Structure 1
Amino acid sequence: MNGLTRSIAAIALVFAVTGCASPGNAHDPLEGFNRAMFDFNDTLDRAALKPAAQAYQAVLPDFVQAGVGNFFGNLGDVWTAVNNFLQGKIEAGAQDVVRVVANSTLGVLGLFDIASDSGVPKHKEDFGQTLGVWGVPAGPYVVLPFLGASTVRDTVALPADIYGDIWTYKDPVHWRNTGSVVRLVDRRAALLDASNLLEDAALDRYQFVRDAYMQRRLNQVYDGDPPDNGNNGKDSQD
């Protein structure tokens, strides 16, 4: 894990330095590199991940897929709670804690989303959003190998998100690795319909994904209500 963290930090540093000096799109000064990484990730997805997700979706009953998603979603609520508290969202953080307690007990280790059925809202926060709330700019758009769309800020935040993931500490290691693969395939299966629409509709899929990602992250930082100019010391989409 330390090696991964160092690699992420090194990549972020390179992006920060080269991004400042590169011409072109103000939010995508590394477009040549990013498009190459986009094509690499897309090839990998078409060859391995998408077929695995299609098989997963075809073979497993819906209730099993729902249980897998609920289980890992419940683990994710722990890190979401931490980030909500770090952002000063005390009520949302408390709701996240209630979700984890309810789903981990009445929901049988998170397999059932009892909390949502009871009206407790689900949030999704990560350390990149927390940095944005603290005033750290998003920086240039980045496409990471294997991981996909990101920004310099989100790339720098990745080590914290990795260490904040409870599953990172699961022993034995082979169970951790197996679960990580299952979670990855489950997430990809949930996006099959959206990716099919994207492939059919977008003339420039790279540009579509980039713009959608940047807008989505802006909305996440501002909880869906960004200022008109999109810039309050945090992110800028102008």
Structure 2
Amino acid sequence: MSVAPSVRSVRTAAALGTLALLTACATPQNRDPMEAFNRKVFGFNEAVDTAVVAPVARGYVAVTPQPVQTGVTNFLNNLKDVWATVNLFLQGRVGEGAQNILRVAINSTLGVAGLVDVATELQLDRKDEDFGQTLGTWGVPSGAYVVLPFLGPSTVRDTAALPLDLYAGPTQAFSEVRDINVVRGLNIIDVRARLLGASDLLGDVALDKYTFIRDAFLQRRRSQVYNGDVPEEAYDDEPQAWWQPTLPAEGVSWSLPTGSTLNTARPTLGWLPTHQTASLVAVPVNEQAPQMSGPTPEEMAGLRESLDVR
């Protein structure tokens, strides 16, 4: 009798038990019960990014012509569209799944193995779906916020789905270890290169980068699960105040760039840069919570220029 399967079973059970415990620990008032640990992992990831990933991405952008960069992005997206199609069907979105099959077929043939995104020009837009979103669609709660080494922000639900997402991702089209490693490396560099501008700006405007990324990630994942149409009850598990402001609930001051407006809808991101200062805004989560609709692209360009972000 082999001992290995038993060991694997114990490890699997322990992992599932840990995930279940983390899910139970998360509450509407505290979506991040592991914050102390998560911040350490976040710091480690930031150090790796600063020392290795970001410099490689900058070098890639510097030496690679833009058409080649676009071709790499399109090629990788075409591979990802295959797994997205499977998830669309698993979510019961049959029509969109069929459309995605057509998208992959067009880009794989007319688009020269996906190097050219012909389908988008034909108004067959990408559907960025993964198994974590599928589990959310099936009613699995997101659970606690988790920061994974090297991989970054996640939740208990997304972490449980991660092995399948990695297995069925872009590398599934290749069998040779060398090819798999090349595709993985290209995907990391491509994603990081496309985020260079945003990460540089974020470093200048966010008072607490960890908190900003966490809250923005959790909001984005919720929006993805509901395809942008989040029902009111989905906000019940949302923290009462995004930035845990020390300011009183009333009298919160707002710093708005010219042309930005306030409305009474649910808040999206709890920050807003201005030309003079860069600050986070405390956003109370309630029915009358103000939401910022700015800055405009022109204002963002002005901010980037004033901060000398490249």
Q: Does 1:203 align with 2:207?
A: yes
2:76 to 54, 72, 96: 72
Distance 1:126 1:191 in 2: 20
> Which residue is 1:143 aligned to?
147
**1:118 aligned onto 2:122:** yes
Matched residues in 2 for 1:90 and 1:48: separation?
Answer: 42
- The sequence identity of aligned pairs, in percent, is 50
1:73, 1:7 → 2: CA distance? Answer: 34
- In 2, distance between residues paired with 1:112 and 1:7? 44
TM-superposed CA distance for 1:93, in Å, is 0.6
Alignment of 1:72-221 (within 5 A): 72-221=76-225
2:64 to 60, 71, 92: 60
User: 2:91·2:137 contact (CA, 8 Å) conserved in 1?
Assistant: yes
Cα distance in 1 between the residues matched to 2:53 and 2:26: 33
Counterpart-to-counterpart distance in 2, 1:140 and 1:21: 7
Name the Cα RMSD after superposition: 2.2
1:15 to partner: Cα distance: 4.5
Shift of 1:229: 3.1
Question: C-alpha distance in 1, partners of 2:13/2:177?
Answer: 25
Q: Deviations over 1:9-33 (max 9, x none)?
A: 8656434325645899520000001
Larger CA deviation: 220-229 vs 108-117 = 220-229
Q: Distance in 1 between matches of 2:11 and 2:97?
A: 31
Q: Distance in 2 between matches of 1:29 and 1:102?
A: 45
Deviation at 1:168, TM superposition (A): 3.4
| Equivalent residue, structure 2, for 1:43 | 47
- Per the normalisation by structure 1, the TM-score is 0.90
Query: How far apart, CA to CA, are the structure 1 residues paired with 2:49 and 2:15?
Result: 22
Query: Which residue type is aligned with residue 61 of structure 2?
Result: Q
* Higher alpha-carbon Rg: 2
Are the aligned partners of 1:8 and 1:159 in contact in 2 as well (CA < 8 Å)? no
Contact 2:22-2:156 at 8 Å conserved across structures: no
Distance 1:196 1:9, change over 3 A: farther
Quote the offset at 1:236 in angstroms. Answer: 2.8
1:28 matches 2:28: no
**Residue identity matched to 1:149:** P
- Whether the aligned pair in 1 keeps the contact of 2:88 and 2:94 (CA below 8 Å) is yes
Measured after TM superposition, the shift of residue 179 of structure 1 is 1.9
CA–CA separation in structure 2 for the residues paired with 1:23 and 1:217: 17
Q: Secondary structure at the match of 2:233?
A: coil
CA contact (8 A) 2:38 2:147 kept: yes
State how far apart, in whole Å, the 2-side matches of 1:9 and 1:50 are. 37
CA offset digits 1:150-178 (Å, max 9, x no partner): 00000000111112114135132112112
- Change in 2 beyond 3 A, CA 1:217/1:8: farther
Deviations 1:168-214, CA, capped at 9 Å, x for gaps: 35132112112211111011000001101110100000000000000
SS in 1 for 2:203: helix
CA distance in 2, matches of 1:118, 1:218: 29
Q: Which residue of 2 aligns with 1:3?
A: none
Does the 8 Å CA contact 1:9/1:156 hold for their aligned counterparts?
Answer: no
Count of residue pairs the alignment pairs up: 230
1:237 equivalent in alignment to 2:249 = no
